[in-house]
Each structure stands twice: as structure tokens, then as C-alpha cells.
Amino acid sequence: MTRLQTNDICHISKGLGIYNQELLMKTGRTLLGVACHAYGREEIKIRQQLEAFSIHVVPVTAGEGIITEFSETVSAILGFLGFNSRVSAASDTSGIAQAFVSNADAIMMSDDNTFVGLNLNNRSVADNSEATGRVFAAALDLMAKGLKDKAVLVQGCGPVGESAARTLLSFGARVALYDIDAQVALCLKNKLAACPGGHKTVVETHLNSALASNGYLVEATPSADTIKDGLISDHLLVAAPGVPLGVSEKGCQVLGNRLLHDKLELGVAAMAICLMGG
């Protein structure tokens, strides 16, 4: 998992309005709407419950320590959506205790490996990798105006790619898997066999031909420049949860509104909707 850096996130809080407009243009839904689509929730009902749902973001000093603006940015995203959110005054154990004492509904916190939301009322856990894969697949479904029977390549078969693949199958997509380590892709194919439609999942071993035969891509790798500019066809739609982004600057220009990428917004929004249960 890539560790975020302040440079990755310091612009997010101020840019949420513009980000939301761009997302609306690309998907037809706002940040809240895309997250609701990911969990099959009705946006209008969620809107009625948001303000009363309090989420404390607890800074974590373990491992490589605090990332300046990480907690503030997570809280800003939640506040933008309408949640009652705040960054805990204290970090770590004290921050968790404060959240309990103040009757918070949920906590969000991340160390170097795991970013979770914890619902303090019903004990449910929202995992950032699962939520991120799911919400980017849902966004691609919206960009594509439905993925049923469409061929989608999932590039990168770690936890984010796995969650994306499961979600794509639930939308009725035909899923192809590619990983730099073919064994990892094969292992995921075997796991997906139990999902409805999962037995039709295929493993691609050559990225070039895989990109030529799939018109839709979820780029879920933790590496830059995984997609050569020449492989970007004029109809390819890309949802890219991977950090860093696997598409070059030139590739981004070519794709324009056919590319969706962010480093935190959709994943946090999806975690929050997941925490609200349903």
C-alpha cells in the first residue's frame, strides 16, 4: 500500500467544490451520489441522516507517524458531504477514548498499512482498500452508463483490485484480471469463482492485448506509468484508484473526462456510507 504524502493531499480540502463538479460532469453524480451508488443506498435517505452522524478522525503516530493534513483532509471530505466530523484533539489511544466519551458514532483512523472506519454503535468496520475499489468500480459503472455485459480489465489484483472486481461482477460486467505477477491474478480469479458471474472471469497475461480487447479499465496498481500512452484507445474509460496514478501526464490529457482518479476523496466518502449501514 502506498503511503500518502502531504503533497498528495494538501490541495484536497480547498478543491472539494471543483472536484465535486468534475465528478458530476464525468459520472452524472456528486461525491455523495457516487458513494451511495457503490453501496446501493438512496442518496435522498442518506442526506437526511448525515448531519446527525458524528465521525471523529483520530491521528495515529504509530509507524512512520503523522502525515501533516491527513486527518484534517479526511475530516474536510466528511464535512463537505454533510457529516458531523472533527479531528480529535488528541491522537492515538487518547483520541479513541475521547471519541467514545463524546458519544461519537464512528471513528476513522489510519496507520501505515490499514485505514479504517469503526462504527461505535454497531461495531461494523469499513476498510479503505475495500471501499476504494468498490467506489471506483461504481464510478466506472456510472461513466459507462451501465457495465452490464461490458468487458472490464482490472489491472492490479491486490485488495483494491479485488474489491473492484467483485463490484464489477455485481454490476454484471465481464471481468478480466491482469497483474504483473500472473499468480496473483490467477489466485484472485479462483477466489472470484464463487461470486455470481465470477466463473467467467479471465486472466490476461499480456497488458497490451488486454487493453486492446477491454474498453473499460480499473487501474488499481501502486505504480506510476503502468499504461503506455500508445495503448490508450480513443474510447477507453479509466477509473484509477491506484496511487501514484499509472497514467502519464500526456495520457491524462488524451483521456480527459474519460479518466477518473483521486487520492482520497472517493475512498473516504465510500467508507462513510459503508459505516452508516443500511
**DSSP letter, residue 29:** S
**Phi, psi dihedral angles at 78 (to 5 degrees):** -65, -40
Q: How far is the CB of 113 from ligand 2YH (least distance, A)?
A: 7
Q: How far is the CB of 242 from ligand 2YH (least distance, A)?
A: 10
Q: How far is the CB of 95 from ligand 2YH (least distance, A)?
A: 9
Of 77 and 210, which has the nearer Cβ to ligand 2YH?
77
Of 43 and 111, which has the nearer Cβ to ligand 2YH?
111
H-state helical runs in the chain: 6-9, 16-27, 31-38, 43-50, 70-81, 92-101, 128-143, 159-170, 182-192, 207-213, 249-255, 265-275
Q: How far is the CB of 8 from ligand 2YH (least distance, A)?
A: 9
Of 135 and 142, which has the nearer Cβ to ligand 2YH?
135
**Phi, psi dihedral angles at 173 (to 5 degrees):** -75, 160
Of 68 and 190, which has the nearer Cβ to ligand 2YH?
68
**DSSP letter, residue 2:** P
Q: Which pairing describes strands 259-261 and 237-240: parallel, antiparallel, or unpaired? A: parallel
Q: How far is the CB of 264 from ligand 2YH (least distance, A)?
A: 7
Distance of alpha carbon 117 from the chain centroid: 14
Which residues in this chain contact ligand 2YH in the complex, by CB under 6 A? 1-4, 59-60, 66-67, 70-71, 110-112, 115, 128
How far from 161 is each of 90, 114, 169, 214, 252, CA to CA, in Å? Answer: 34, 16, 12, 16, 21
Of 3 and 200, which has the nearer Cβ to ligand 2YH?
3
